[in-house]
Amino acid sequence: MDPTLIALFVGAAFASLFMAWVIGAGSSGATPFAPAVGANAIGTMRAALLVGIFGFIGAVTQGGNVSEAIGSGLIGGMSLPVAGVILVLILGAGLMVVGITTGYPIATAFTVTGAVIGVGLALGGTPVWSKYQQITAVWVLTPFVGGGIAFIIASVLPRPNVPERYSIPALTGLVAAVLANVEFSFLGEGNSTGTVRELGQHALAVDGRASAVVVTGVAALAVAAVVYWDIGRDQRGGLRRVLLVLGSLVAFSAGGSQVGLAVGPLLPLLDEVGMVSMFAVLVGGGLGMLAGSWTGAPRMIKSLAQDYSSLGPRRSISALVPSFLIAQLAVVLGVPVSFNEIVVSAIIGSGAAVGGREAVDARKILLTLGAWAGSFALSFGLAYVTAALLL
């Protein structure tokens, strides 16, 4: 095997590891527990610890779809060379570092996607318009759908005619129903994935759509019953525990989505190197994100929790439910999505429902929107020009 190729791959792997650290310190490490920290349900350092653990688990068990989309789904007719992969990772990580040091959430998905497309087109690749349309639809609709769902939930929870002992279990039952149908790599046979619902059907020796609905419904009702009992005996503590579980699920989903932004560009190189598996790459990316969450995320967690909205447990739950749902949809579709965009939009929606304009920092929101819009354009432009001149 060519020693030069191995050396270049090692360099690309270190760049990927750095990118994973930056992601863990920024978007995926900060946003999942920001609502819980804002509601004083958990401390900043403990939140960083938990988000690192659950993010790692999500990266290993759900990271394949988005990784493959980043690695081979954005540019047609070619695979990025090693130098192009390194350029993508350095540009993406560099822009994320700017976001972390300034305290404003630059969207990782925007920077990495822009860099991959910019480098690929500069080197002669062809656009994959169908994938671009899918990605654009998710990016554009996320603030409206996520913020809208959060607004509706936050508007309903405080009403006297909707007791929390019933409304919160209903929400957690919905989350459980979705979770029962989420695909995990360790539940499948061979290289395939599987779901908890399929596992239940297999255990009961039944098949078909009707049994799938029944198994999913039983799982949802079981979780809702436990939450109903917990809130009934200790309302304040029950809300806090629901909030922490939702934060953990969002952190898990963040790992499954965001690891692809760090390791996806490496995938086209695996066939050339021939001695590194997809699983090993996901584990490495997950460890990098875990390290970033533990060492760099607290600052961003504090920024999101304090600056965007004055959150309580109910508004935090309202923000995390749509965040989990949208994140899992993105994982299924294999679409790189920004967790800054998902969670911040939900925080804004839940805050506006309860406190109106006074509950949200308008200046911070405008600056964030500018960072989101500018990060893709800047990343694409820098990647295209640099690749055209140097590669």
pLDDT tens for 273-303 read 666 778 888 999 999 999 888 887 777 777 6
Instruction: Mention every residue, 6+ apart, whose C-beta is less than 8 A from residue 332.
Output: 65, 183
368 vs 139: which has the higher pLDDT = 139
DSSP β-bridge partners for residue 162:
none
Count Cβ atoms below 10 Å from residue 216 Cβ, excluding itself: 21
Of all residues in the chain, what percent carry a pLDDT higher than 70? 88
d(CA 380, CA 1): 33
Q: Which of 300, 243, 289, 296 is nearest to 58 (CA)?
A: 289
Write down the pLDDT at residue 103.
60
pLDDT tens readout for residues 101-133: 766 657 788 888 999 999 999 999 999 999 999
pLDDT tens readout for residues 135-194: 989 988 988 899 899 999 988 886 777 788 889 999 999 999 999 998 887 776 666 677
Q: Are 285 and 261 in contact (CB under 8 A)?
A: no
Q: Are 131 and 69 in contact (CB under 8 A)?
A: yes
Query: Which is it for the CA torsion 184, 31, 351, 99, positive or negative?
Result: negative
Scanning the structure block, which residue is given the tokens 């760099």? 296
Helices 64-72, 278-307: crossing angle, 10 deg rounding: 100
Q: What is the CA radius of gyration of the chain?
A: 21
Q: Considering the chain, what is the average pLDDT of its residues?
A: 83
Write down the pLDDT at residue 184.
80
Instruction: Enter the tokens of residue 79.
Output: 């695979």
Res 225 pLDDT > 70: yes
Q: Which of 275, 254, 385, 384 is nearest to 13 (CA)?
A: 275
Which of helix, strand or coil describes residue 124?
A: coil
Q: Which long-range contacts (CB under 8 A, 24 or more apart) does 167-172 make?
A: 168/227, 168/231, 168/238, 168/239, 168/242, 168/317, 169/223, 169/224, 169/225, 169/227, 169/228, 169/231, 170/224, 171/317, 171/321, 172/223, 172/224, 172/227, 172/242, 172/245
Phi/psi of residue 75, each to 5°?
A: -130, 130
Count Cβ atoms below 10 Å from residue 160 Cβ, excluding itself: 5
Mean pLDDT of 311-321: 80
Q: Are 373 and 358 in contact (CB under 8 A)?
A: no
